[in-house]
Each structure stands twice: as structure tokens, then as C-alpha cells.
Amino acid sequence: MKKIIFLLYELLIFAPIFILATIITAVIVMIGCLFGKKTFWGYYPPHLWGKLACRLALCRIKVVRKSKLDPNQSYVFIPNHQGAFDIFLIYGYLNQNIKWVQKQELRKIPFVGKASEIAGHVFVDQSNLKSMKETITKAEAQLTKDSSMVIFPEGARTKTGKMGRFKRGAFLIAKEMNLPIVPVTVNGPYDLMKIKTYLINPCKLELIVHEPISTEDLTDDNMSEFINKCTEIVHSGLWDKYK
């Protein structure tokens, strides 16, 4: 009975409101970025959109901040990737002006893809290793003193709920741009919407923002050790069932 109620809620309330809100947000972003400041219009409408999505999904939200971040400092945030709602949770509750480094395929999403492009988010071709340098160049061009980058170092969402291996891309970008890394732990989106399904299962969502880590001493020689350290920090915040 509970599943039927949630299904009816999703079809009759969640989906119509979410789709309409997505289209309106994308249009506002496109118009705002064309005629106004990208750092404002490219972030604040999606910030509210992310909060709306999490609330519409009937989720309880918990945010844990391990330290206060410098509002004048740019960072590279590296969250684990549990599911589609990671994006809404981070957009809505990270409370940092952010730009995403995201898969090329997302550019094809109606309205959202074009809005992301105009807002200055960076698309990367994961099938082409040579594109990393181009990605770094694009990220440098889009980043301003009052914005940060978000990159999923796993590259793709988990299929099991367990955290995958962190790839080097996010760390190479942070090293090249001399930006601190901020590990972020995401809990809950895996259960909220299972992979390969669009059915929501309202639950608790948690976002843990760990302390920033300087990349000033990061080199090719200690890269693996640095990545392992960041992986352990993100992993330490996972709920037991995800470890």
C-alpha cells in the first residue's frame, strides 16, 4: 500500500512539479546568464531548484560541516557519487557557488544541457584521455574568485551503494589550478532512487563537508598517496551500510 501511495504521489505531484520547475529554472539560467552575471544566474536558480527537488522527494536533510570555508577562496569539491539526487543535494545544501565538471552526455538533456553550457559548466569527454588538458583549460576559463568546481572522482554513480575507486582527473585539475580539495561525503541518494529506475523512495539524505586539503605540495610522485588520503576521508563519513 505504501509503495502505491508513493507511486501515485510521484506521478501526480512530484513529476509534474519537478519537470515544470526544471524547465523554468533552465530558462531563467539561460536568460539571466546572457544578460546578467553568470556567477549569480548560473548558481542561485539551480540552488533553489536543488532544494525543491529534495523537499519534493519528501526527504529529511542533514548537513554536517567539519570546518568553515573561506567565502573568497575557490575549491575543488570531490563527493562520492551515489545517485541522481547527489546533484540536487549538493546544489541545494553545499552553500557554495559552484560549477560542475560533468559528462559530455549530459549536454543532450533538453533545456538542462543548454543551460549548463551557457552557465559555464565544463563538459568532459571521458572516452578521450587527451581531453583532460582541454578540460583543465576550460575549468580555468570558467572559474572566478567567487566560484568553485564540483567533480565526482569516481566518474560514475555506484551500482551497489559501495564507493568506487577515485580517478586522477579531479586531482590533476586541482593541482594544475593550485586549488584546495574539499572531500564531501554523500549518504542516502542511492536508496532514494535506485540506479536504472525513476521511482523515488523517500528517505534521509546527509551531506558531510570535510575540511579542505591544500594541494600546494601535491606532485606526480605523491599523487597516489594524496588520492588515497582523500578517498579515506570521504569513505569515513559513509553510513555503515555503504562501507
Question: What average pLDDT score do residues 82-89 get?
Answer: 96
Residue 142 has pLDDT above 90, yes or no: no
- In this predicted structure, what is the pLDDT of residue 133? 63
Confidence of residue 145 (pLDDT cuts 50, 70, 90): low
pLDDT of amino acid 136: 65
pLDDT at residue 194 is higher than 90: no
The rounded mean pLDDT for the chain is 90
User: Does pLDDT of 126 surpass 60?
Assistant: no
Residue pair 89/48 in contact (Cβ under 8 Å)? The answer is no
| Residue (of 76, 69, 226, 211) closest to 139 by Cα position | 76
Q: For the packed helices 169-177 and 131-142, what is the interaxial angle rounded to 10 degrees?
A: 50
- 3-state helix vs strand vs coil in the chain, percent to 5: 45, 15, 35
Exposure string (b/e) for 74-100, b if CB count within 10 Å is 16 or more? Answer: bbbbbbbbbbebbbbbbbbbbebbbbb
Residue 181, pLDDT above cutoff 80: yes
Nearest alpha-carbon partner for 73 in 138, 135, 149, 184: 149
Q: What is the pLDDT of residues 20-69, one digit of tens each?
A: 999 999 999 999 999 999 889 999 999 999 999 999 999 999 999 999 99
pLDDT tens digits for range 40-53? 999 999 999 999 99
Name every residue whose Cβ is closer than 8 Å to that of residue 103 and which is 6 or more positions away in sequence: 123, 124, 126
Backbone angles phi, psi at 42, to 5 degrees: -80, -10
- Averaged over 187-210, what is the pLDDT? 93
What pLDDT shows up at residue 209? 98
Q: Which three cell numbers stand for residue 126?
A: 571521458
Compute the average pLDDT of residues 134-163. 81
pLDDT of residue 138: 67
Is there a contact between 101 and 120 (Cβ–Cβ < 8 Å)?
A: no
Residue 206 neighbours by CB distance under 10 Å: 20
Instruction: List domains and CATH numbers for the chain.
Output: 2-242 (3.40.1130)
Residue 104 or residue 185, greater confidence: 185
User: What are the pLDDT digits (tens) for 225-235?
Assistant: 999 999 999 99
